[in-house]
A and B are shown apart, each in its own frame.
Chain A
Amino acid sequence: MSQDPNTTTPKPSVKDGPVLRDHVFDGIQEFDQKLPNWWLFTFYIAIVFFVGYWVVYYSTDSMQTPTQNIDAKMAAIEGKKKQELVAMMDKLDDTVLLEWSTNQSITDEGKAVYEQYCIACHSPGLNGGVIGRSLIDEHWEYGGKPMDLFHLVLNGSPSDAKGFNGQKMQAWKDVLGPEKSAKVVAYVASKAPHVDKTK
């Protein structure tokens, strides 16, 4: 393409052939190729989609708003949570939890939960620390029966409690759910020597 910049290029006679424009900028020339059809179509489709989407959303009301959408989803989740809790409560009492505490497969699952969520405050040896109480001493601030512990894990320290060193345990209901909460209690019961085993 050694085009002399000072002569104008005659337009090619072939209709669809590449047209070389007659401007030359510092030796740079430009073809004037047609726009590729597939490229044009992607552009057109995106524009049509814009118009269509907006019309369908704002002029037909056939789509939910994001608010309606998420509110419905969360309501469904809340419903399921309640069901799960009710189902677990029906199943669970002190006896069951104590049985679970002797079931190796359940306490293993509980141990995994404990190690993930509980050791930061109650320490790996269950002997507590600055933030969480010891779980292996004789003192149970909020009751030492397995079901007391279960409720404590679900709901956290009572709202009127003073807490330990001014710190209160958070409610784990939403994080762990009833099943994991029960299993972690089973694990604690298997390890803590002073869990109240009276019926």
Chain B
Amino acid sequence: MNTSTNAATTTIVYDDKTVRRFMIASIIFGLVGMLVGVIAAFQLNFWQMNGKFLEYITFGAFKSEGVSFLTFGRLRPLHTNAAIFAFVGNMMFAGVYYSTQRLCKCRTASDFLSGLHFWGWQLIIVAAAITLPAGLTRGKEYAELIWPINIAVALIWVVFAINFFWTLAKRREPNLYVAIWFYIATIITVAMLYIVNHLSFPTSLTHSYPVFAGVQDALVQWWYGHNAVAFFLTTPILGIMYYFMPKAAGRPVYSYRLSIIHFWALVFIYIWAGPHHLLNTALPNWLQTLGMLFSLMLWAPSWGGMLNGLLTLRGAWDKLRTDPVIKFFAAGVTFYGMATFEGPLMSIKAINQLSHYTDWTIGHVHSGTLGWNGFMAAGMFYWMAPRLWKNNKGTDGGSVLWRESWANMHFWIGTVGILLYVASMWVSGIMEGLMLSATNEAGTTLRHDFVTVTQAKHVMLLFRGFGGLLYLAGFIMLAINIFKTIRMSSPVEASAEVPADASPEQDSARGLGLIFRNDPVTYSFWVIIFVILWLFLPDGMDIGALIIACGLSVQAIWIFTRNPGRWAELYDSLEKNWVPFTVLVFIAAALGGAVQIIPTVIAQKGEYMDDRRQILYTPLELAGRDLYITEGCYNCHSQMIRMLEGDILRYGKSELTDKDNNKLDGGYSRIGESIYNRPFQWGSKRTGPDLAREGRVRSDVWHYNHMVDPRMNPGSIMPSYHWMIDKKTDIKALPGKIAVLSKLGVPYEAMTEDVIEDNAKLQALGIARGLVANEVVLPKDLEDMDDEAAIASALAERQIVALIAYLQKLGAYENVENKDVTAPSLTNPDNKHAESE
């Protein structure tokens, strides 16, 4: 420990300007993100909210059936990105910058990097707010931003990392506090997840195709998506909890050893659970099983964080009545506990049958984001505001908030808002899941058509929207309160007296040796290696590996119990060395993803498919698919028929034919049917019906009319896509796109640019002729033409034609007859199961 008896002390001034900036940015973008969320919520009640409402509020001066950049498909990505990366991102940075300086007893390493981090991040957010409504998207959830912005995010994240680790290197505190562990895990893991899931090949400045396709892309996406929740929305906030909660409560943290156990368990286990987003789908069964079982194992480590938070309040529970900060923290941690209990529950395959693709998932996510992230943010902002801006207007001369009563009101409004939101989504989601799979008594036909279910949810969704509105109202109170507090105060830079001689016993060069000469690390490593071998080795050998893993575990426990102090010392020295600590965090976080992704990338390719293989898109269909992604159709429509009776009865029938003109078998979706799709479009929510076998179920005319006026299907809440009959398809971009796809391994025949364009035009003309012959309502600019051939060739250039071409192709596959190559058998544990196909 540093002692104050040492006379040589020096004063350091913390960089609180950066913290203030991030905090204000978080509040502003929080308002924006939540407002967009409320609009998106009501869009699912009233289709007019997709732009038609502008006609009402301008009293008809602005005429429109819908505005492209206001549709749900484009606003929902804006909402999620704003809430995650702008609101929670900035909040996290504020908390990290505030606490890290104080926990390290030194100013952030570089003011320049802090400034670059701040402005870079805000620029990224502005770029996102422009590109997403414009329809520029990669088509993967929470990873929608286009590739130039991806590069900017990666660079700014590296700036953050350098600034953070440099600060650790300069610290005056020998040990790293538990909050810092969580920050390290956040920085390292988010970098890994973000980079891998954004690997793509550009076709233009604003468009790219991911390097992974089909099932690979699905797995990588949900490895990322699930762990974005883990390492962007959970670990940094846990770190913030570990700093701000004991500070606000004035109580010691409940248990240091619980911190250690739940930290490492969380970092290691979380990564494996991604496949629980793909249960009952075409994802290989071994991955689904891992996803389910690791989700169950994740329950206790998650609750470890909750316990350490709530039990820290022991002896300070009285403050719950008076202090809004403690109210927010206590409720936030409670919602965290609720969401992390619900998560493993929903990861059980049988429960997921009901919950997946329904509103239940949306409710689950929001109990985490509104309850945990939003409330922890509010608690932290209320705590920091009078410390970052001083006014000395408190009764004891300290600084205070403008209105504590407003903070209390915010708490109650917010809590009621969340409860309304979550409860209505439970009811809606469970009802939706039950209705969609309900059959007659014999189980041969479905009881409800899709629109009936949509309509049945109407009231529940109104409550949801109202809950969101209440939550937004509470947050507006926060914004006013903080703004007024700032107005009546002046910013101050906090300072601290620290010993002049920096860097006590810490970060020795030999520290790296800790990775290797460290019993707990060595044993954990070998146990995990043998567990992995057990998963993959063939029958017989696998049990041997399991026995060795168990033996090693027993030996480790025996060594530990003989002399627990030794392991405590080892951990203490690890805590003093951030480099080996960080290396170990990276290894722990990387393992699960590597074990799942590498075998899948090796084994799940087009050439290895043994039952069905997707038929490649023609150039025009590819253009249509990119438009489908641009419009964000995947936000409401899945393309994955799960291995469930309800799914198969509803969506399984195929109207497409094979080359001998026989109807395809259809049924549940097989891996091969989407194996070349970049990005995959399995979806995560069915606000509209599944489209996996949409091809040829309905006529071109039906699709044309339906896209212009979805209300031809009474009760539909789909927005009108009338601009698709006006806008032109970018045929010129196709040769470049197909060249990139070929480079990525899609087996396109060699075609010259002219062949590609002619092929697209010819197919488009065929569809357009059919539409014109059947007298569809023409776009305004074509109405006055009277030459049918001329109308058809003009209509052929429109986006709607490309989209129809794509929709009519959905579900096209060929049966693989004689397979020439097989994937290495060790890459697929499912080969072990007898009679597996």
Contact = CB atoms under 8 A, between A and B. Distances in A.
B836 interface: yes
B652 to A, nearest CB: 8
Contacts of A131: 699, 701-702, 705
A24 B304 CA distance: 22
Nearest to A174: B653
A80 B443 contact: yes
A6 B255 contact: no
Contact of A31 (B252, B265, B714, B770): B252
A167 B701 contact: yes
B699 A46 contact: no
A30 to B, nearest CB: 4
Given A30-B256, A120-B712, A120-B714, A70 B668 contact: yes
B253 A39 contact: no
Contact of B296 (A35, A36, A39, A49): A49
Interface string B752-775: 000000000000000000100111
A176 interface: yes
B319 interface: no
Contact of B701 (A30, A166, A174): A166
B111 interface: no
B360 interface: no
Interface in B820-837: 829-830, 832-837
B247 A49 contact: no
A33 B254 contact: yes
A6 B4 contact: yes
A112 to B, nearest CB: 11
B58 interface: no
Interface stretch (B122-130, B150-158, B640-648): B640-648
A74 to B, nearest CB: 6
Interface of B: 1, 3-4, 99, 102-103, 105, 173, 175, 177-178, 243, 246-247, 250-259, 261, 265, 280, 285-286, 288-289, 293-294, 296-297, 299-301, 303-304, 307, 311, 315, 440, 442-446, 449, 452, 534-535, 539, 542-543, 546, 643-645, 648-649, 653, 655, 667-668, 697-702, 705, 712-714, 770, 773-776, 829-830, 832-837
A74 B253 contact: no
A53 B295 CA distance: 14
Nearest to B535: A54
Contact of A166 (B246, B255, B299, B699): B699
Contact of B103 (A21, A25, A120, A163): A25
A33 B252 CA distance: 11
Interface in A29-50: 29-36, 39-40, 42-43, 46-47, 49-50
Contacts of B834: 61
Interface in A139-169: 163, 165-168
A180 B446 CA distance: 11
Contact of B300 (A20, A39, A53, A177): A39
A96 interface: no
Given A167-B774, A170-B655, 12 more contacts: A1-B252, A26-B102, A26-B243, A30-B252, A30-B253, A46-B296, A50-B294, A58-B832, A66-B280, A80-B444, A130-B774, A167-B702
Given A25-B103, A50-B294, A166-B773, A70 B253 contact: no
Contacts of A74: 645, 648, 667
A175 interface: yes
Contact of A46 (B297, B442, B667, B702): B297
Contacts of B440: 177
A119 B714 contact: yes
Contact of A177 (B444, B546, B667, B713): B444
Interface string A185-198: 00000000000000
A51 interface: yes
Contact of B445 (A8, A32, A47, A174): A174
Contacts of B299: 42, 46
Given A28-B243, A116-B449, A165 B712 contact: no
A22 B775 CA distance: 83
Q: Across chains A and B, which 7 residue pairs bring their CB atoms closest together, nearest first?
A: A43-B300, A177-B445, A33-B255, A29-B252, A167-B699, A25-B177, A46-B297
Given A73-B645, A131-B701, A174-B653, A31 B253 contact: yes
Q: Which of A8, A42, A46, A165 has the most CB of B within 10 A?
A: A46
Contact of A65 (B175, B257, B833): B833
Given A33-B254, A46-B297, A39 B303 contact: yes
A27 interface: yes
Contacts of B1: 6, 8, 22-24
Contacts of B257: 32-35
Contact of B835 (A8, A65, A176): A65
A1 B312 CA distance: 13
A39 B178 CA distance: 20
A163 B773 CA distance: 13
Contacts of A33: 254-255, 257-258, 311
Contacts of A27: 247
A138 interface: no
Contacts of B175: 23, 25
A43 B546 contact: no
Contacts of B293: 46, 49-50, 53-54
A130 B443 contact: no
A77 interface: yes
A33 B829 CA distance: 41
Contacts of A36: 307
B446 A175 contact: yes
A121 to B, nearest CB: 8
Contacts of A22: 1
B445 A175 contact: yes
A54 B535 CA distance: 8
B645 A77 contact: yes
A80 B300 contact: no
15 contacts: A1-B315, A43-B265, A47-B297, A50-B297, A54-B293, A55-B543, A57-B833, A65-B830, A70-B645, A70-B668, A80-B442, A84-B442, A170-B698, A174-B445, A174-B649
A35 B308 CA distance: 10
Contacts of B539: 58-59
A68 interface: yes
A57 B243 CA distance: 44
Q: Which of A33, A34, A57, A68 has the most CB of B within 10 A?
A: A33
B131 to A, nearest CB: 36
B407 to A, nearest CB: 23
Interface in A93-119: 116-117, 119
Contacts of B286: 58
A124 B834 CA distance: 55
B255 A31 contact: yes
Contacts of A13: none
A150 to B, nearest CB: 16
B460 to A, nearest CB: 21
B45 to A, nearest CB: 21
Contacts of A175: 445-446, 449
Contacts of B699: 131, 163, 166-168
A181 to B, nearest CB: 10
A165 B250 CA distance: 77
